[in-house]
Chain A
Protein backbone atom coordinates (compact mmCIF):
# COMPACT_ATOMS: atom_id res chain seq x y z
CA UNK A 1 0.00 0.00 0.00
CA UNK A 2 2.54 2.50 1.16
CA UNK A 3 5.05 1.72 -1.55
CA UNK A 4 2.26 2.00 -4.08
CA UNK A 5 1.55 5.59 -3.19
CA UNK A 6 5.27 6.19 -3.11
CA UNK A 7 5.76 5.01 -6.67
CA UNK A 8 2.80 7.10 -7.73
CA UNK A 9 4.31 10.18 -6.11
CA UNK A 10 7.59 9.25 -7.70
CA UNK A 11 5.94 9.07 -11.09
CA UNK A 12 4.20 12.41 -10.69
CA UNK A 13 7.47 13.94 -9.57
CA UNK A 14 9.23 12.54 -12.62
CA UNK A 15 6.51 13.83 -14.92
CA UNK A 16 6.74 17.27 -13.39
CA UNK A 17 10.47 17.44 -14.00
CA UNK A 18 10.04 16.22 -17.56
CA UNK A 19 7.46 18.82 -18.45
CA UNK A 20 9.37 21.58 -16.71
CA UNK A 21 12.48 20.71 -18.70
CA UNK A 22 10.42 20.49 -21.87
CA UNK A 23 8.87 23.88 -21.21
CA UNK A 24 12.27 25.37 -20.45
CA UNK A 25 13.59 23.94 -23.67
CA UNK A 26 10.66 25.44 -25.55
CA UNK A 27 11.09 28.84 -24.00
CA UNK A 28 14.83 28.96 -24.62
CA UNK A 29 14.49 27.86 -28.23
CA UNK A 30 11.62 30.23 -28.98
CA UNK A 31 13.21 33.24 -27.33
CA UNK A 32 16.58 32.67 -28.91
CA UNK A 33 15.32 32.40 -32.44
CA UNK A 34 12.72 35.14 -32.04
CA UNK A 35 15.44 37.53 -31.01
CA UNK A 36 17.78 36.71 -33.88
CA UNK A 37 16.42 39.40 -36.21
CA UNK A 38 16.32 42.00 -33.48
CA UNK A 39 19.92 41.56 -32.53
CA UNK A 40 21.06 41.62 -36.13
CA UNK A 41 22.39 38.06 -36.05
CA UNK A 42 22.76 36.14 -39.28
CA UNK A 43 19.23 35.32 -40.42
CA UNK A 44 20.27 32.84 -43.10
CA UNK A 45 22.41 30.83 -40.69
CA UNK A 46 19.63 30.64 -38.15
CA UNK A 47 16.97 29.91 -40.71
CA UNK A 48 18.85 26.84 -41.79
CA UNK A 49 19.63 25.87 -38.23
CA UNK A 50 15.90 25.86 -37.52
CA UNK A 51 15.32 23.86 -40.66
CA UNK A 52 17.89 21.24 -39.68
CA UNK A 53 16.47 21.04 -36.19
CA UNK A 54 13.09 20.32 -37.75
CA UNK A 55 14.48 17.81 -40.25
CA UNK A 56 16.52 15.96 -37.64
CA UNK A 57 13.61 15.94 -35.18
CA UNK A 58 11.21 14.56 -37.77
CA UNK A 59 13.78 12.01 -38.92
CA UNK A 60 13.97 10.87 -35.32
CA UNK A 61 10.29 9.94 -35.47
CA UNK A 62 11.06 7.55 -38.27
CA UNK A 63 14.43 6.36 -37.14
CA UNK A 64 14.68 6.65 -33.37
CA UNK A 65 11.12 5.80 -32.48
CA UNK A 66 10.04 3.56 -35.33
CA UNK A 67 13.33 2.01 -36.36
CA UNK A 68 13.23 2.98 -40.03
CA UNK A 69 16.15 4.81 -41.59
CA UNK A 70 14.92 6.28 -44.87
CA UNK A 71 17.98 7.13 -46.89
CA UNK A 72 15.68 8.75 -49.40
CA UNK A 73 14.23 11.15 -46.82
CA UNK A 74 14.89 14.05 -49.19
CA UNK A 75 11.98 12.84 -51.34
CA UNK A 76 9.53 14.39 -48.87
CA UNK A 77 11.51 17.59 -48.73
CA UNK A 78 11.59 17.82 -52.50
CA UNK A 79 7.92 17.08 -52.98
CA UNK A 80 7.10 19.78 -50.44
CA UNK A 81 9.29 22.29 -52.22
CA UNK A 82 7.79 21.55 -55.61
CA UNK A 83 4.22 21.49 -54.35
CA UNK A 84 4.65 24.93 -52.86
CA UNK A 85 6.38 26.28 -55.95
CA UNK A 86 3.79 24.93 -58.35
CA UNK A 87 0.86 26.14 -56.26
CA UNK A 88 2.34 29.60 -55.93
CA UNK A 89 3.83 30.07 -59.36
CA UNK A 90 1.45 28.14 -61.57
CA UNK A 91 -1.80 28.34 -59.70
CA UNK A 92 -1.42 31.68 -58.03
CA UNK A 93 -1.91 30.51 -54.47
CA UNK A 94 -0.61 32.59 -51.60
CA UNK A 95 2.41 31.11 -49.88
CA UNK A 96 0.65 30.84 -46.55
CA UNK A 97 -1.95 28.63 -48.18
CA UNK A 98 0.56 26.69 -50.23
CA UNK A 99 2.96 25.63 -47.48
CA UNK A 100 0.50 23.46 -45.54
CA UNK A 101 -0.34 21.77 -48.83
CA UNK A 102 3.33 20.89 -49.04
CA UNK A 103 2.84 18.96 -45.83
CA UNK A 104 -0.16 17.21 -47.30
CA UNK A 105 1.85 16.27 -50.38
CA UNK A 106 4.48 14.76 -48.11
CA UNK A 107 1.88 12.66 -46.35
CA UNK A 108 0.42 11.49 -49.66
CA UNK A 109 3.88 10.50 -50.85
CA UNK A 110 4.42 8.59 -47.62
CA UNK A 111 1.24 6.65 -48.29
CA UNK A 112 2.54 5.80 -51.75
CA UNK A 113 5.75 4.54 -50.17
CA UNK A 114 3.92 2.68 -47.42
CA UNK A 115 4.40 -0.81 -48.90
CA UNK A 116 8.11 -0.47 -48.21
CA UNK A 117 7.42 -0.45 -44.48
CA UNK A 118 7.46 -4.21 -44.32
CA UNK A 119 11.09 -4.31 -45.38
CA UNK A 120 13.89 -4.73 -42.89
CA UNK A 121 16.75 -2.34 -42.14
CA UNK A 122 19.03 -2.11 -45.13
CA UNK A 123 16.47 -3.17 -47.71
CA UNK A 124 14.25 -0.36 -46.55
CA UNK A 125 17.12 2.11 -46.64
CA UNK A 126 18.18 1.12 -50.14
CA UNK A 127 14.67 1.10 -51.59
CA UNK A 128 14.07 4.48 -49.99
CA UNK A 129 17.15 5.80 -51.76
CA UNK A 130 15.94 4.39 -55.07
CA UNK A 131 12.46 5.84 -54.61
CA UNK A 132 13.89 9.29 -53.97
CA UNK A 133 15.98 8.98 -57.12
CA UNK A 134 12.86 7.96 -59.05
CA UNK A 135 10.99 11.00 -57.72
CA UNK A 136 13.79 13.24 -58.82
CA UNK A 137 13.97 11.67 -62.26
CA UNK A 138 10.23 11.86 -62.78
CA UNK A 139 10.02 15.50 -61.81
CA UNK A 140 13.04 16.43 -63.90
CA UNK A 141 11.41 14.83 -66.90
CA UNK A 142 7.97 16.30 -66.50
CA UNK A 143 7.04 18.97 -69.03
CA UNK A 144 8.68 22.30 -68.50
CA UNK A 145 5.37 24.10 -68.18
CA UNK A 146 4.63 22.05 -65.07
CA UNK A 147 7.86 21.83 -63.17
CA UNK A 148 10.34 24.10 -64.87
CA UNK A 149 12.45 21.30 -66.34
CA UNK A 150 16.08 21.64 -65.43
CA UNK A 151 15.84 25.34 -64.70
CA UNK A 152 13.35 24.96 -61.93
CA UNK A 153 10.67 27.32 -60.79
CA UNK A 154 10.83 30.72 -59.29
CA UNK A 155 8.18 31.78 -56.90
CA UNK A 156 8.20 35.29 -58.20
CA UNK A 157 8.96 38.41 -56.25
CA UNK A 158 7.67 36.86 -53.08
CA UNK A 159 10.98 36.43 -51.33
CA UNK A 160 10.33 37.82 -47.86
CA UNK A 161 13.08 36.36 -45.72
CA UNK A 162 11.79 37.56 -42.41
CA UNK A 163 8.33 36.11 -42.92
CA UNK A 164 9.81 32.84 -44.08
CA UNK A 165 12.08 32.93 -41.04
CA UNK A 166 9.19 33.15 -38.63
CA UNK A 167 7.19 30.55 -40.53
CA UNK A 168 10.17 28.20 -40.22
CA UNK A 169 10.21 28.89 -36.51
CA UNK A 170 6.55 27.98 -36.30
CA UNK A 171 7.16 24.73 -38.20
CA UNK A 172 10.12 23.91 -35.96
CA UNK A 173 8.14 24.46 -32.78
CA UNK A 174 5.29 22.38 -34.16
CA UNK A 175 7.71 19.57 -34.93
CA UNK A 176 9.30 19.70 -31.49
CA UNK A 177 5.91 19.82 -29.81
CA UNK A 178 4.74 16.85 -31.88
CA UNK A 179 7.71 14.74 -30.91
CA UNK A 180 7.40 15.76 -27.27
CA UNK A 181 3.79 14.68 -27.27
CA UNK A 182 4.64 11.52 -29.16
CA UNK A 183 7.43 10.50 -26.83
CA UNK A 184 4.94 10.33 -23.96
CA UNK A 185 1.96 9.11 -25.90
CA UNK A 186 0.65 5.66 -26.54
CA UNK A 187 1.53 6.02 -30.23
CA UNK A 188 5.14 6.52 -29.20
CA UNK A 189 5.12 3.41 -27.03
CA UNK A 190 3.43 1.41 -29.76
CA UNK A 191 6.03 2.55 -32.29
CA UNK A 192 8.88 1.59 -30.01
CA UNK A 193 7.37 -1.81 -29.29
CA UNK A 194 6.90 -2.45 -33.01
CA UNK A 195 10.47 -1.32 -33.55
CA UNK A 196 11.86 -3.63 -30.89
CA UNK A 197 9.85 -6.76 -31.66
CA UNK A 198 6.99 -6.51 -34.13
CA UNK A 199 5.73 -10.07 -33.69
CA UNK A 200 5.63 -9.80 -29.93
CA UNK A 201 3.89 -6.44 -30.20
CA UNK A 202 1.32 -7.99 -32.48
CA UNK A 203 0.74 -10.79 -29.99
CA UNK A 204 -0.05 -8.10 -27.46
CA UNK A 205 -2.76 -6.58 -29.52
CA UNK A 206 -0.83 -3.89 -31.39
CA UNK A 207 -1.88 -3.49 -35.02
CA UNK A 208 1.62 -3.13 -36.38
CA UNK A 209 0.72 -2.12 -39.94
CA UNK A 210 -1.51 0.72 -38.85
CA UNK A 211 0.90 1.95 -36.18
CA UNK A 212 3.85 1.96 -38.59
CA UNK A 213 1.81 3.91 -41.09
CA UNK A 214 0.89 6.57 -38.56
CA UNK A 215 4.51 7.06 -37.53
CA UNK A 216 5.58 7.17 -41.15
CA UNK A 217 3.03 9.80 -42.14
CA UNK A 218 4.02 11.98 -39.22
CA UNK A 219 7.68 11.62 -40.15
CA UNK A 220 6.94 12.65 -43.75
CA UNK A 221 4.85 15.69 -42.87
CA UNK A 222 7.61 17.86 -41.46
CA UNK A 223 10.35 17.52 -44.08
CA UNK A 224 7.74 18.37 -46.69
CA UNK A 225 6.85 21.51 -44.75
CA UNK A 226 10.55 22.35 -44.55
CA UNK A 227 10.84 22.05 -48.30
CA UNK A 228 7.90 24.39 -48.73
CA UNK A 229 9.16 27.03 -46.34
CA UNK A 230 12.66 26.88 -47.77
CA UNK A 231 11.19 27.38 -51.24
CA UNK A 232 9.59 30.56 -49.98
CA UNK A 233 12.81 31.65 -48.32
CA UNK A 234 15.12 31.13 -51.30
CA UNK A 235 12.46 31.91 -53.89
CA UNK A 236 13.68 29.20 -56.23
CA UNK A 237 13.06 25.48 -56.55
CA UNK A 238 14.88 23.06 -58.82
CA UNK A 239 15.44 19.33 -58.79
CA UNK A 240 19.17 19.58 -58.12
CA UNK A 241 18.73 21.29 -54.79
CA UNK A 242 15.25 20.07 -53.87
CA UNK A 243 16.20 16.41 -54.22
CA UNK A 244 19.84 16.70 -53.30
CA UNK A 245 21.07 13.67 -51.37
CA UNK A 246 23.07 16.04 -49.17
CA UNK A 247 19.79 16.98 -47.51
CA UNK A 248 19.32 13.42 -46.32
CA UNK A 249 22.99 13.12 -45.42
CA UNK A 250 22.94 16.17 -43.19
CA UNK A 251 19.63 15.19 -41.61
CA UNK A 252 20.95 11.75 -40.74
CA UNK A 253 24.27 13.06 -39.44
CA UNK A 254 22.72 15.79 -37.32
CA UNK A 255 20.18 13.43 -35.83
CA UNK A 256 22.74 10.73 -35.10
CA UNK A 257 25.20 13.27 -33.70
CA UNK A 258 22.65 14.34 -31.13
CA UNK A 259 21.31 10.89 -30.41
CA UNK A 260 18.26 9.12 -31.73
CA UNK A 261 15.33 8.20 -29.55
CA UNK A 262 15.17 11.38 -27.47
CA UNK A 263 13.57 14.72 -28.24
CA UNK A 264 16.56 16.82 -27.26
CA UNK A 265 19.04 14.64 -29.12
CA UNK A 266 18.36 15.85 -32.66
CA UNK A 267 18.00 19.44 -31.47
CA UNK A 268 21.38 19.35 -29.77
CA UNK A 269 22.88 17.57 -32.74
CA UNK A 270 21.49 20.01 -35.29
CA UNK A 271 22.68 23.02 -33.33
CA UNK A 272 26.13 21.63 -32.67
CA UNK A 273 26.65 20.41 -36.21
CA UNK A 274 25.30 23.63 -37.74
CA UNK A 275 27.89 25.57 -35.83
CA UNK A 276 30.66 23.15 -36.76
CA UNK A 277 29.58 23.19 -40.38
CA UNK A 278 29.58 26.99 -40.44
CA UNK A 279 32.98 27.28 -38.80
CA UNK A 280 34.52 24.63 -41.00
CA UNK A 281 33.03 26.10 -44.13
CA UNK A 282 34.41 29.51 -43.29
CA UNK A 283 37.88 28.26 -42.52
CA UNK A 284 38.24 25.35 -44.92
CA UNK A 285 35.78 25.82 -47.74
CA UNK A 286 37.51 23.29 -49.96
CA UNK A 287 37.71 20.38 -47.55
CA UNK A 288 34.21 20.94 -46.19
CA UNK A 289 32.84 17.79 -47.73
CA UNK A 290 35.78 15.71 -46.61
CA UNK A 291 35.41 16.87 -43.04
CA UNK A 292 31.71 16.05 -43.17
CA UNK A 293 32.46 12.51 -44.29
CA UNK A 294 35.16 12.00 -41.71
CA UNK A 295 32.88 13.47 -39.05
CA UNK A 296 30.23 10.86 -39.82
CA UNK A 297 32.77 8.07 -39.53
CA UNK A 298 34.16 9.46 -36.31
CA UNK A 299 30.66 9.77 -34.86
CA UNK A 300 29.78 6.21 -35.70
CA UNK A 301 33.06 4.86 -34.35
CA UNK A 302 33.42 6.94 -31.21
CA UNK A 303 30.05 8.44 -30.34
CA UNK A 304 27.54 5.99 -31.78
CA UNK A 305 24.75 7.05 -29.47
CA UNK A 306 25.26 10.73 -30.12
CA UNK A 307 25.81 13.41 -27.55
CA UNK A 308 22.57 13.10 -25.62
CA UNK A 309 22.46 9.36 -26.08
CA UNK A 310 25.91 8.91 -24.55
CA UNK A 311 24.96 11.03 -21.55
CA UNK A 312 21.85 8.95 -21.01
CA UNK A 313 23.84 5.75 -21.33
CA UNK A 314 26.01 6.90 -18.46
CA UNK A 315 23.02 8.05 -16.43
CA UNK A 316 20.10 5.77 -17.31
CA UNK A 317 17.98 7.19 -14.52
CA UNK A 318 17.85 10.51 -16.31
CA UNK A 319 15.91 8.99 -19.18
CA UNK A 320 12.69 9.68 -17.39
CA UNK A 321 13.36 13.35 -17.05
CA UNK A 322 15.15 14.32 -20.22
CA UNK A 323 12.68 14.94 -23.00
Chain B
Protein backbone atom coordinates (compact mmCIF):
# COMPACT_ATOMS: atom_id res chain seq x y z
CA UNK B 1 0.00 0.00 0.00
CA UNK B 2 1.30 3.42 -0.85
CA UNK B 3 1.85 6.03 1.79
CA UNK B 4 -1.15 7.93 0.43
CA UNK B 5 -3.40 4.97 0.97
CA UNK B 6 -2.14 4.39 4.49
CA UNK B 7 -2.70 8.06 5.15
CA UNK B 8 -6.20 7.67 3.80
CA UNK B 9 -6.84 4.65 5.98
CA UNK B 10 -5.55 6.25 9.16
CA UNK B 11 -7.46 9.44 8.53
CA UNK B 12 -10.44 7.35 7.62
CA UNK B 13 -10.42 5.75 11.05
CA UNK B 14 -9.95 9.07 12.81
CA UNK B 15 -12.65 10.83 10.83
CA UNK B 16 -14.80 7.71 10.99
CA UNK B 17 -14.67 7.81 14.75
CA UNK B 18 -16.14 11.29 14.68
CA UNK B 19 -18.79 10.24 12.24
CA UNK B 20 -19.53 7.31 14.53
CA UNK B 21 -20.18 9.73 17.39
CA UNK B 22 -22.49 11.73 15.14
CA UNK B 23 -24.38 8.61 14.30
CA UNK B 24 -24.44 7.32 17.85
CA UNK B 25 -26.20 10.30 19.33
CA UNK B 26 -28.61 10.68 16.40
CA UNK B 27 -29.44 7.01 16.64
CA UNK B 28 -30.06 7.14 20.36
CA UNK B 29 -32.35 10.11 20.04
CA UNK B 30 -34.34 8.56 17.26
CA UNK B 31 -34.54 5.27 19.05
CA UNK B 32 -35.84 6.67 22.32
CA UNK B 33 -37.87 9.63 21.16
CA UNK B 34 -38.54 9.02 17.48
CA UNK B 35 -37.14 12.50 16.96
CA UNK B 36 -35.00 13.08 13.89
CA UNK B 37 -32.54 15.72 14.93
CA UNK B 38 -32.04 17.85 11.85
CA UNK B 39 -30.19 20.32 14.02
CA UNK B 40 -27.51 17.89 15.11
CA UNK B 41 -24.87 19.32 12.80
CA UNK B 42 -25.52 22.82 14.07
CA UNK B 43 -25.27 21.63 17.68
CA UNK B 44 -21.94 20.04 16.87
CA UNK B 45 -20.63 23.22 15.27
CA UNK B 46 -21.81 25.12 18.32
CA UNK B 47 -19.55 22.79 20.28
CA UNK B 48 -16.69 23.69 17.96
CA UNK B 49 -17.36 27.36 18.59
CA UNK B 50 -17.33 26.77 22.34
CA UNK B 51 -13.88 25.22 22.01
CA UNK B 52 -12.87 28.15 19.83
CA UNK B 53 -14.02 30.73 22.33
CA UNK B 54 -12.42 28.92 25.25
CA UNK B 55 -9.17 28.73 23.34
CA UNK B 56 -9.01 32.20 21.87
CA UNK B 57 -10.33 34.03 24.92
CA UNK B 58 -9.01 31.97 27.80
CA UNK B 59 -6.25 30.01 26.19
CA UNK B 60 -7.84 26.76 27.30
CA UNK B 61 -6.71 23.67 25.46
CA UNK B 62 -9.45 21.81 23.61
CA UNK B 63 -8.94 18.93 25.99
CA UNK B 64 -10.10 21.14 28.82
CA UNK B 65 -12.96 22.32 26.65
CA UNK B 66 -14.25 18.76 26.35
CA UNK B 67 -15.78 18.32 29.80
CA UNK B 68 -17.00 21.91 29.81
CA UNK B 69 -18.76 21.44 26.49
CA UNK B 70 -20.15 18.09 27.55
CA UNK B 71 -21.65 19.35 30.80
CA UNK B 72 -22.94 22.69 29.55
CA UNK B 73 -24.55 21.13 26.49
CA UNK B 74 -26.10 18.41 28.62
CA UNK B 75 -27.74 20.99 30.85
CA UNK B 76 -28.98 23.03 27.89
CA UNK B 77 -30.32 19.85 26.31
CA UNK B 78 -32.22 18.92 29.45
CA UNK B 79 -33.91 22.31 29.48
CA UNK B 80 -34.53 22.28 25.75
CA UNK B 81 -36.29 18.94 26.06
CA UNK B 82 -39.00 20.30 28.31
CA UNK B 83 -39.50 23.39 26.19
CA UNK B 84 -39.73 21.64 22.86
CA UNK B 85 -40.73 18.03 23.05
CA UNK B 86 -43.82 17.49 25.21
CA UNK B 87 -46.03 19.45 22.80
CA UNK B 88 -44.90 17.29 19.91
CA UNK B 89 -46.29 14.09 21.32
CA UNK B 90 -49.77 15.60 21.22
CA UNK B 91 -49.66 16.41 17.53
CA UNK B 92 -51.25 14.43 14.70
CA UNK B 93 -48.00 13.33 13.22
CA UNK B 94 -45.21 13.53 15.79
CA UNK B 95 -42.48 12.32 13.46
CA UNK B 96 -43.12 14.93 10.80
CA UNK B 97 -43.62 17.56 13.46
CA UNK B 98 -40.31 16.66 15.09
CA UNK B 99 -38.30 16.98 11.96
CA UNK B 100 -39.89 20.26 11.02
CA UNK B 101 -39.25 21.49 14.55
CA UNK B 102 -35.59 20.51 14.48
CA UNK B 103 -35.33 21.91 10.94
CA UNK B 104 -36.41 25.27 12.34
CA UNK B 105 -34.05 24.83 15.25
CA UNK B 106 -31.16 24.18 12.88
CA UNK B 107 -31.89 27.36 10.95
CA UNK B 108 -32.19 29.36 14.16
CA UNK B 109 -28.93 27.94 15.54
CA UNK B 110 -26.99 28.66 12.37
CA UNK B 111 -28.42 32.18 12.42
CA UNK B 112 -27.37 32.71 16.03
CA UNK B 113 -23.85 31.50 15.30
CA UNK B 114 -23.76 33.76 12.28
CA UNK B 115 -24.80 36.75 14.35
CA UNK B 116 -22.30 36.11 17.11
CA UNK B 117 -19.31 34.99 15.10
CA UNK B 118 -19.96 36.29 11.60
CA UNK B 119 -19.48 34.28 8.47
CA UNK B 120 -15.71 33.86 8.46
CA UNK B 121 -14.48 30.39 9.04
CA UNK B 122 -12.67 29.78 12.25
CA UNK B 123 -10.07 27.34 13.36
CA UNK B 124 -8.20 26.44 16.47
CA UNK B 125 -4.43 26.73 16.18
CA UNK B 126 -3.70 24.47 19.02
CA UNK B 127 -0.61 22.42 18.58
CA UNK B 128 0.37 19.50 20.67
CA UNK B 129 3.94 18.64 21.33
CA UNK B 130 5.11 16.86 19.13
CA UNK B 131 3.02 18.18 16.26
CA UNK B 132 2.85 14.86 14.54
CA UNK B 133 3.62 11.25 15.25
CA UNK B 134 4.86 8.82 12.61
CA UNK B 135 2.73 5.79 11.97
CA UNK B 136 4.49 3.52 9.55
CA UNK B 137 5.49 5.63 6.54
CA UNK B 138 3.17 8.55 7.29
CA UNK B 139 3.11 11.37 9.81
CA UNK B 140 -0.21 11.82 11.52
CA UNK B 141 -1.02 15.00 13.36
CA UNK B 142 -1.05 14.50 17.10
CA UNK B 143 -4.19 16.54 17.41
CA UNK B 144 -5.98 14.02 15.24
CA UNK B 145 -4.63 11.09 17.20
CA UNK B 146 -5.72 12.72 20.43
CA UNK B 147 -9.16 13.17 18.90
CA UNK B 148 -9.20 9.49 17.99
CA UNK B 149 -8.23 8.56 21.52
CA UNK B 150 -10.99 10.71 22.97
CA UNK B 151 -13.47 9.25 20.50
CA UNK B 152 -12.48 5.77 21.52
CA UNK B 153 -12.88 6.64 25.19
CA UNK B 154 -16.25 8.28 24.69
CA UNK B 155 -17.47 5.34 22.61
CA UNK B 156 -16.25 2.88 25.19
CA UNK B 157 -17.93 4.83 27.96
CA UNK B 158 -21.16 4.99 25.97
CA UNK B 159 -21.04 1.29 25.21
CA UNK B 160 -20.42 0.49 28.86
CA UNK B 161 -23.18 2.87 29.86
CA UNK B 162 -25.71 1.41 27.44
CA UNK B 163 -24.99 -2.21 28.14
CA UNK B 164 -23.89 -2.31 31.75
CA UNK B 165 -25.69 0.37 33.69
CA UNK B 166 -29.33 0.46 34.60
CA UNK B 167 -30.16 3.84 33.03
CA UNK B 168 -28.36 2.75 29.88
CA UNK B 169 -30.32 -0.46 29.67
CA UNK B 170 -33.48 1.50 30.21
CA UNK B 171 -32.55 3.68 27.26
CA UNK B 172 -31.99 0.65 25.08
CA UNK B 173 -35.23 -0.88 26.23
CA UNK B 174 -37.04 2.34 25.45
CA UNK B 175 -35.55 2.18 21.98
CA UNK B 176 -37.11 -1.19 21.48
CA UNK B 177 -40.51 -0.56 22.98
CA UNK B 178 -41.69 2.73 24.41
CA UNK B 179 -44.99 1.48 25.77
CA UNK B 180 -43.65 -1.58 27.46
CA UNK B 181 -41.03 0.34 29.35
CA UNK B 182 -43.62 2.65 30.84
CA UNK B 183 -45.66 -0.29 31.99
CA UNK B 184 -42.75 -1.61 33.98
CA UNK B 185 -42.55 1.67 35.83
CA UNK B 186 -39.84 3.69 34.17
CA UNK B 187 -40.46 7.42 34.15
CA UNK B 188 -40.44 7.93 30.42
CA UNK B 189 -40.37 11.72 30.65
CA UNK B 190 -37.14 11.79 32.61
CA UNK B 191 -35.63 9.05 30.49
CA UNK B 192 -36.49 10.95 27.34
CA UNK B 193 -35.11 14.18 28.73
CA UNK B 194 -31.99 12.29 29.64
CA UNK B 195 -31.64 10.91 26.13
CA UNK B 196 -32.16 14.38 24.69
CA UNK B 197 -29.60 15.92 27.02
CA UNK B 198 -27.17 13.09 26.32
CA UNK B 199 -27.43 13.80 22.59
CA UNK B 200 -26.65 17.43 23.22
CA UNK B 201 -23.71 16.48 25.42
CA UNK B 202 -22.23 14.13 22.85
CA UNK B 203 -22.79 16.78 20.18
CA UNK B 204 -20.80 19.27 22.22
CA UNK B 205 -17.94 16.81 22.65
CA UNK B 206 -18.04 15.90 18.96
CA UNK B 207 -17.83 19.59 18.12
CA UNK B 208 -14.67 20.08 20.13
CA UNK B 209 -13.12 17.05 18.47
CA UNK B 210 -14.13 18.31 15.04
CA UNK B 211 -12.31 21.55 15.76
CA UNK B 212 -9.23 19.43 16.45
CA UNK B 213 -9.52 17.26 13.36
CA UNK B 214 -10.87 19.46 10.61
CA UNK B 215 -9.06 22.57 9.44
CA UNK B 216 -11.87 25.09 9.72
CA UNK B 217 -15.57 25.58 10.39
CA UNK B 218 -18.19 28.26 9.92
CA UNK B 219 -21.78 28.87 11.01
CA UNK B 220 -23.12 26.88 8.08
CA UNK B 221 -20.77 23.90 8.35
CA UNK B 222 -23.40 22.15 10.42
CA UNK B 223 -25.50 21.08 7.47
CA UNK B 224 -22.74 18.91 6.14
CA UNK B 225 -22.36 17.09 9.45
CA UNK B 226 -26.07 16.58 9.73
CA UNK B 227 -26.12 14.84 6.38
CA UNK B 228 -23.15 12.69 7.31
CA UNK B 229 -24.86 11.80 10.57
CA UNK B 230 -27.92 10.67 8.66
CA UNK B 231 -25.85 8.66 6.24
CA UNK B 232 -24.22 6.89 9.16
CA UNK B 233 -27.42 6.05 10.96
CA UNK B 234 -29.08 4.83 7.81
CA UNK B 235 -26.09 2.64 7.05
CA UNK B 236 -26.05 1.40 10.60
CA UNK B 237 -29.79 1.11 10.95
CA UNK B 238 -31.95 3.78 12.47
CA UNK B 239 -32.27 3.25 16.20
CA UNK B 240 -29.25 0.97 16.45
CA UNK B 241 -26.48 2.83 18.33
CA UNK B 242 -23.84 0.14 17.99
CA UNK B 243 -24.58 -0.23 14.31
CA UNK B 244 -24.08 3.52 13.99
CA UNK B 245 -20.64 3.24 15.55
CA UNK B 246 -19.51 0.60 13.10
CA UNK B 247 -21.15 2.32 10.16
CA UNK B 248 -19.46 5.60 11.08
CA UNK B 249 -16.00 4.12 10.93
CA UNK B 250 -16.83 2.29 7.73
CA UNK B 251 -18.13 5.48 6.15
CA UNK B 252 -15.15 7.51 7.35
CA UNK B 253 -12.73 5.08 5.79
CA UNK B 254 -14.72 4.96 2.56
CA UNK B 255 -14.83 8.73 2.37
CA UNK B 256 -11.14 9.27 3.05
CA UNK B 257 -10.08 6.53 0.69
CA UNK B 258 -12.29 8.10 -1.95
CA UNK B 259 -10.48 11.40 -1.58
CA UNK B 260 -7.19 9.59 -2.21
CA UNK B 261 -8.39 8.44 -5.60
CA UNK B 262 -10.91 11.05 -6.61
CA UNK B 263 -11.31 14.81 -6.56
CA UNK B 264 -12.83 16.28 -3.40
CA UNK B 265 -16.20 17.04 -4.92
CA UNK B 266 -16.50 13.60 -6.43
CA UNK B 267 -15.65 12.05 -3.09
CA UNK B 268 -18.63 13.89 -1.65
CA UNK B 269 -20.85 12.47 -4.34
CA UNK B 270 -19.57 9.03 -3.48
CA UNK B 271 -20.65 9.60 0.09
CA UNK B 272 -24.15 10.67 -0.72
CA UNK B 273 -24.38 8.06 -3.41
CA UNK B 274 -23.59 5.39 -0.84
CA UNK B 275 -26.53 6.58 1.21
CA UNK B 276 -28.91 6.38 -1.70
CA UNK B 277 -27.68 3.02 -2.91
CA UNK B 278 -27.80 1.51 0.58
CA UNK B 279 -31.35 2.59 1.17
CA UNK B 280 -32.53 1.30 -2.14
CA UNK B 281 -30.66 -1.97 -2.08
CA UNK B 282 -30.64 -2.85 1.59
CA UNK B 283 -33.22 -0.61 3.23
CA UNK B 284 -32.71 -1.90 6.72
CA UNK B 285 -29.18 -0.58 6.63
CA UNK B 286 -26.26 -2.84 7.28
CA UNK B 287 -27.71 -3.99 10.57
CA UNK B 288 -30.96 -2.34 11.16
CA UNK B 289 -34.63 -1.79 11.14
CA UNK B 290 -37.65 -1.35 8.95
CA UNK B 291 -37.67 1.66 6.68
CA UNK B 292 -40.29 0.95 4.07
CA UNK B 293 -43.67 2.58 4.23
A residues in contact (CB < 8 Å) with B: 69, 71, 115-116, 118-127, 129-131, 133-134, 137-138, 140-141, 198, 245, 249, 252-253, 256, 286-287, 289-290, 292-301, 304-305
Contact = CB atoms under 8 A, between A and B. Distances in A.
Contact of B268 (A137, A293, A300): A137
Given A130-B231, A301-B87, A293 B293 contact: no
B273 A287 contact: no
B106 interface: yes
Given A286-B115, A304-B92, A119 B103 contact: no
Contact of A130 (B112, B227, B283): B227
A141 B264 CA distance: 11
Interface string B106-122: 11111110110000000
B293 A140 contact: no
B133 interface: no
Interface of B: 36, 84, 87-88, 91-92, 95-97, 99-101, 103-112, 114-115, 223, 227, 230-231, 234, 238, 263, 265-266, 268-269, 272-273, 275-276, 279-280, 283, 290-293
B101 A119 contact: no
Given A130-B272, A297-B101, A123 B279 contact: yes
Contact of B293 (A120, A134, A137, A290): A120
Given A116-B279, A130-B276, A297 B293 contact: no
12 contacts: A120-B290, A120-B293, A121-B96, A124-B293, A287-B111, A287-B115, A289-B110, A293-B108, A294-B108, A300-B97, A304-B91, A305-B92
Given A116-B279, A120-B291, A290-B108, A137 B265 contact: yes
B77 to A, nearest CB: 16
A42 B263 CA distance: 45
**Binding site secondary structure of chain A:** helix
Q: Which 5 A-B pairs have the closest CB atoms?
A: A296-B104, A293-B108, A293-B107, A290-B111, A120-B293
B224 to A, nearest CB: 9
**Binding site secondary structure of chain B:** helix
B101 A134 contact: no
A252 B100 contact: yes
Contact of A290 (B115, B269, B273, B275): B115
Nearest to B291: A123
A152 to B, nearest CB: 16
Nearest to A199: B293
A293 B111 contact: yes
A297 B104 contact: yes
A166 to B, nearest CB: 33
Contacts of A301: 84, 87-88, 101
A119 B283 contact: yes
Contacts of B92: 304-305
Given A115-B280, A290-B111, A290-B115, A296 B103 contact: yes
A122 B115 contact: no
Contacts of B230: 126, 129-130
B99 A141 contact: no
A212 B131 CA distance: 56
A298 B227 CA distance: 24
B103 A122 contact: no
A116 B279 CA distance: 8
Contacts of A133: 227, 268, 272
**Best-surrounded residue of B104, B231, B238, B276 (most CB of chain A within 10 A):** B104
A296 B96 CA distance: 13
Contact of B265 (A141, A198, A286, A295): A141
A129 B227 contact: yes
A198 B293 CA distance: 8
A289 B106 contact: no
B275 A127 contact: yes
Nearest to B91: A304
B111 A141 contact: no
A118 B268 contact: no
A140 B100 contact: no
Contacts of B283: 119, 123
Nearest to B279: A127
A288 to B, nearest CB: 8
Contacts of B106: 293
A38 to B, nearest CB: 37
Contact of A141 (B112, B115, B266): B266
Contacts of A125: 36, 99
Contacts of B103: 71, 249, 252, 296
